[in-house]
């Protein structure tokens, strides 16, 4: 899989002076477009469109400083229909307009090319199992919170603290399904995994399709396959490392890709730094199921 992913990035690199066909890039990688965008964002720390723009502006910056083409020619070369649009994109990456950069020989920002690789760091082996689930429903309360890659997510913690006792009792009264107990679920609204990106964050229980509880929200989840990871370590750092490792190490090394759906996390509320057992459920499908290979 790693070879196919890097072939896809090579293809993307060759398209920087034209419109990038993301579905074609994902096809070369032999994964769905959803998975390619999701994994790329996790690895790069930025959405795929942002990486494409930064790579384009890295190459454009070299052309601007070289002085061999007019600024309008550079703009057209990288797919911009006007000098104004090119100048905005250039400034968003380099913090300076192309005309001023050429006049002053400014120091510009370079976005290095990305490549995929698995780094073996000697951490404990990732324990996982594959589970097929029928349609189910998450019943609980949701809030929109930003992604936080390191440390406590204050917005998520505040949402948990806001739950009243009656809401918790109503959740526990519902017929439970695996994973049992009160858990959290993250529903990504975009393909981006960049820090600060907003997600719908649920606190609730997994129950049967159609189950309801007074004054609680409900999210219907279709049948599908889930990769379930068991984890033990200090909260929340061990979990944040696990989430990262699933996308940067487990997916490139296994015949599965991610698919749309809520990511479920079952863990006991503890003080930051306290050791705890957790279980992470990631919606997956066999490689090629959506990519047509």
Q: Could you report the per-residue pLDDT of 226-282, keeping only the tens digit for each?
A: 999 988 888 888 888 888 888 877 887 788 899 999 999 998 766 777 888 899 999
Residue 122 lies in a domain: no
Residue 109 lies in a domain: no
Domain with 136, as residue range(s), is 127-286
Question: Band of the pLDDT at 290, cuts 50, 70, 90?
Answer: very low
Residue 293 lies in a domain: no
- Helix or strand (DSSP H, E) at 202: strand 198-208
Q: Are 266 and 144 found together in one domain?
A: yes
Count of structural domains within the chain: 2
Residue 222 lies in a domain: yes
Q: What is the overall mean pLDDT for the chain?
A: 87
CA 241 to chain centre: 14
Helix crossing, 22-29 with 33-44: angle to 10°?
A: 90
β-strands 183-188, 224-234 pairing: unpaired
Residue 117 lies in a domain: no
Q: Are 89 and 136 found together in one domain?
A: no
What confidence tens digit (pLDDT) does each residue in 37-83 have?
A: 888 887 777 889 999 999 999 999 999 998 999 999 999 999 998 99
Q: Are 24 and 64 found together in one domain?
A: yes
Q: Are 85 and 195 found together in one domain?
A: no
């Amino acid at each position: 899989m790693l070879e196919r992913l890097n072939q896809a990035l090579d293809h993307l690199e060759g398209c920087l002076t034209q419109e990038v066909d993301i579905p074609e890039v994902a096809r070369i990688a032999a994964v769905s477009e959803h998975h390619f965008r999701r994994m790329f964002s996790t690895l790069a720390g930025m959405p795929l469109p942002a990486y494409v723009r930064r790579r384009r502006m890295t190459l454009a910056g070299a052309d601007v400083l070289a002085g061999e083409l007019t600024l309008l020619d550079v703009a057209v070369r990288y797919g911009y229909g006007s000098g104004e649009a090119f100048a905005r994109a250039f400034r968003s990456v380099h913090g300076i307009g192309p005309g001023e950069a050429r006049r002053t020989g400014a120091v510009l920002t370079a976005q290095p090319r990305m490549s995929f690789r698995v780094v073996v760091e000697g951490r404990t082996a990732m324990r996982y199992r594959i589970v097929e689930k029928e349609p189910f429903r998450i019943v609980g309360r949701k809030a929109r919170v930003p992604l936080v890659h390191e440390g406590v997510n204050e917005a998520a913690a505040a949402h948990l603290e806001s739950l009243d006792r009656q809401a918790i009792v109503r959740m526990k009264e519902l017929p439970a399904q695996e994973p049992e107990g009160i858990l959290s679920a993250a529903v990504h609204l975009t393909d981006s995994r960049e820090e600060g990106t907003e997600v719908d964050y649920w606190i609730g229980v997994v129950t049967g399709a159609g189950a309801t509880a007074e004054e609680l929200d409900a999210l219907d989840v279709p049948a599908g396959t889930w990769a379930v990871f068991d984890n033990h370590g200090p909260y929340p750092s061990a979990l944040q490392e696990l989430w990262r490792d699933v996308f940067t190490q487990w997916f490139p090394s296994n015949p599965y890709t991610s698919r749309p759906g809520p990511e479920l996390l079952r863990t006991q509320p503890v003080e930051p730094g306290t050791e705890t057992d957790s279980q992470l459920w990631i919606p997956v499908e066999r490689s090629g199921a959506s990519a047509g290979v």
